Structure 1
Amino acid sequence: MHQHAAQTLDEAFERLHRTGSEFDDGLSNHGPMAVESLVHAGQWEAVPAWLDLYTPRLDPAVRPTERIARDAWRDALGDRARDGDWIALFTDEIAEQSWRDVLALWWPRLLPGMPGGATHGVIRVGHAVRALLEAGESPIRLAEFAHAMAYFASSNQPLPELPRLAGGRSPFEALDAVPPLPIGEKDHISRRLTFLAEWDEWLTPTLSVGPVGTPEEAEALLTDTVHAAIRLYLRRGHGSGVMNVHGVTAPSAVLRVLPALPRELWIPSFTAAWATSSAVFAVYMGREDAGEAPAPASDASNAMERALAHGDEHAIKLADTAADVYARSGDTRALSAAALSLELIAPFKG
């Protein structure tokens, strides 16, 4: 990463660490995720101006209240009021051991609760890990990793426990078979997700992927999940232009974390990411396919330029994942999905 880009990223993270992980009664602070996306895409010079528009809406950081005992961490899991305590815990953790060791220890503890906070915890971790892998370690990037892991912990909310994946479908086939939530059952995401536990119409296609035998298979299936999800956003994202973004960016975040994880964690990582993506689309996607898809950007760089001009943090993050999918597959539908998000999501001008 260019030295000036890395410096800009650190300055942005430092500025954002004075703000809370959430604001306005439960909305997630997307600042760290969006600025990392912009820097990764080469748009680092635009970061300060974007933050000038974005940060005035944010709340101050939550102060620590009580130390979380390392043998009693479960008591604080999913408690958003203790975000400051979780930041203190992870700051201590990375002061004592490498961030990779911290990730290896805590990832399987937090993974089942990926849907919590509308998946923003795991998404923030994905961006923090990519920053460390691409730009290397710095005190501020390590601090962002601590903040991201803390949000993953404080917002944790597990899906209902699922039986083992035991089908033979690809993620493309299985995700296409996932049905939208019945009319009349829609509510806050945490309540929508609880409905899925006993809903066979969702369980059957969700369990129809797999089984997964090797870490390599898990990585390939996770890659396909991200690709399938962005294609589904193009068809059904209109059910909620904002919320369905997370059905794409959550598995994308997990894919970005894989290279930093021990290989024995790759299979459970795929399983959790797949179920989460399926769940998000089930409770938010449109009931019918959309009409004609918008024309894609000319390339991934142009897709991010359009998202930056639009300004919304969700559009920026979707363009970031669209660029990844397009680079891997050459599928221009990924860029069309990014273009669609600009139509479905209101522009942000501060």
Structure 2
Amino acid sequence: MTGILDEALQRLSGTGPEHDGWLSNHGPMAAESLVHHGRAAEVHCWIDSYERRLDETPRGIAPIPADEWREPLGDPVRTGDWLAFFDHAVHTAPWRDVLTLWWPRLLPGIAAGATHGVIRVGHAVRALLAEETGQRVTELGQGLAYWAARWQPLSPAGSGPYPRSDPRSALDALPRIPDQRSGIRSRLAQLADLPGWPSAAGAVPGSAQEPVEARLAAIVTAAIHNHTIHGYGNPVLLVHAATAPAAVLRTLPVLPPALHGPSLAAAWAATAAVTAAYAPPTPRAYVPVPTDPESVLQRAVESGDAHAIKFADAAIEAWTRAPDPLLLAAADNATDLIAGE
């Protein structure tokens, strides 16, 4: 059944990273999630329904020289060029070396494509750690290319004291942008003028004595919990407050230790930014309903929505690390909220 993921990636290989404007292509990410959780038999049926909305791979303008990458970074017009650049890179050097080279270059722009760049890379890395195949190496290149094309730095984080040491309290204390009516680029731009943003984004919750993996896992868990009471504001976009740090956590095992600290800081900044931009200031009461991992994933698959599938994936993964029933209930709640949009 593991070959089904490669078949799915091959089916999607002619599609671009976006469709209908700036909407991200979730096909590879959702397919990897389903295979990872033992639902390979449902992948092709899901793609049958999903792929009709996708666009073809964009054409390039001009090749990007290896030593002149800075100028086209973050230029979506060069998406086709970045796809060609990284396809060549991952097939002419070990994929781990390519990832290690480009991760610190791309990390400051973690907001790329509403964080879908880093999320797609995280799914590709998890697939490669399960089994290294040519199609999965290609998919990693596609994810890195999307990240590079939509590279978007967040407003600079500060340093200094921040009064919240655990991620859940830190998320609760985040300031909110004043205008939550526009798209993500406009919302993230408001962070620069948001009082308290630099200190909130720059102080990663948790103790410096804790392992980076544990602190990242705590951020993912807090963001999943937070969705239950704030997800009503924008259930789809707030999914990324959890799935972005989950992607960083999945990538951490193949990164050198020197990149772990910066990865943690960027992951927290992404979670904080999405929360500040989309979470309404007033929480809504939530009563969890007991469930189990199989039921959670089944409901997400039946919804047909890729965000519901990816959020269920992250919640089940977090539950596997620490069996907190609220994580599974949060995923079911997110599926309901997304379906109700």
TM-score class, shorter-chain normalisation, is over 0.9
Specify whether residues 7 and 25 from structure 1 end up closer, same or farther in structure 2 by C-alpha distance, changes over 3 A only: same
Deviations 1:127-157 (A, max 9, x none): 00000001x2111111101111111111110
In structure 2, the residue matched to 1:160 is 155
Distance 1:82 1:74 in 2: 12
The secondary structure found in structure 1 opposite 2:300 is helix
Match of 2:119 in 1: 123
TM-score between both structures, scaled by the size of structure 2: 0.95
Contact 1:296 1:339 (8 Å CA) reproduced: no
Aligned counterpart for 1:245 among listed residues 239, 242, 265: 239
For residue 253 of structure 2, the aligned residue among 256, 259, 284 is: 259
> Bigger shift: 84-93 or 267-276?
84-93
The 1:210/1:282 distance shift into structure 2, 3 A limit, reads closer
Structure 1 window deviating more from structure 2 (202-211 vs 27-36): it is 202-211
Q: How does 1:41-190 map to 2 (within 5 A)?
A: 41-134=37-130, 136-164=131-159, 166-167=161-162, 169-182=165-178, 184=179, 186-190=181-185
Any idea what SS the aligned residue of 2:116 has?
Answer: helix
| Map of 2:229 onto structure 1 | 235
Shift of 1:103: 0.5
Question: What are the superposed Cα offsets for residues 7-58 of structure 1, whole Å, 9 maximum, x if unpaired?
Answer: 1000100111111100001100000000000000100000010000000010
Check 1:230–1:123 CA distance in 2 against 1; reply closer, same or farther (3 A cut): same
Aligned residue number for residue 275 of structure 1: 269
Alignment correspondent of 1:323: 316
Work out the CA distance in 1 between the residues paired with 2:217 and 2:183. Answer: 29
* 1:293 shift after superposition: 2.9
> Are the counterparts in 1 of residues 118 and 248 from structure 2 also a CA contact under 8 Å?
yes
Distance 1:109 1:57 in 2: 32
- Equivalent-residue separation in structure 2 for 1:280 and 1:79 (angstroms): 22
Secondary structure, counterpart of 2:339 in structure 1: coil
Shift of 1:224: 0.7
Q: Give unpaired runs (5+ residues) of structure 1.
A: none
Counterpart among 184, 187, 201 of residue 206 in structure 1:
201
Using the TM superposition, give the Cα deviation of residue 116 of structure 1 relative to its aligned residue in structure 2, in angstroms.
1.8
**Secondary structure of 1:280's match?**
helix
Do structure 1's residue 340 and structure 2's residue 330 form an aligned pair? no
Per mean C-alpha deviation after superposition, the further-off stretch among 101-110 and 327-336 is 327-336
SS in 2 for 1:76: coil
Residue 302 of structure 1: which of 273, 280, 295 is its match? 295
Q: Provide Cα deviations, 1:265-313, integer angstroms capped at 9, x if missing partner.
A: 000000000011011011101222122334142x212211110011100
Q: Distance in 2 between matches of 1:137 and 1:302?
A: 30
What is the TM-score when the length of structure 1 is the normalising length?
0.93
Corresponding residue for residue 192 of structure 1: 187
CA distance, structure 1, for counterparts of residue 298 and residue 326 of structure 2: 17
Q: How many residues align?
A: 340
Q: List per-residue Cα deviations over 1:230-266 (Å, max 9, x = no partner).
A: 0111111111010100111001000000001111100
Relative to structure 1, the CA distance from residue 86 to residue 143 in structure 2 (aligned partners, 3 Å threshold; closer, same or farther) is same
Task: Measure the CA separation in 1 of the matches of 2:214 and 2:310.
Answer: 22
Deviations 1:295-344 (A, max 9, x none): 142x2122111100111000000000000111111111111111111221
The alpha carbon displacement at 1:213 in A equals 4.8
Across the aligned residues of Structure 1 and Structure 2, the Cα RMSD in angstroms comes to 1.8
In structure 2, the residue matched to 1:224 is: 218
Any unmatched runs of 5+ in structure 2?
A: none
- Deviation by residue 1:168-201 (Cα, 9 ceiling, x = unmatched): 612222112113323x453111111111123123
Q: Distance in 2 between matches of 1:302 and 1:132?
A: 27
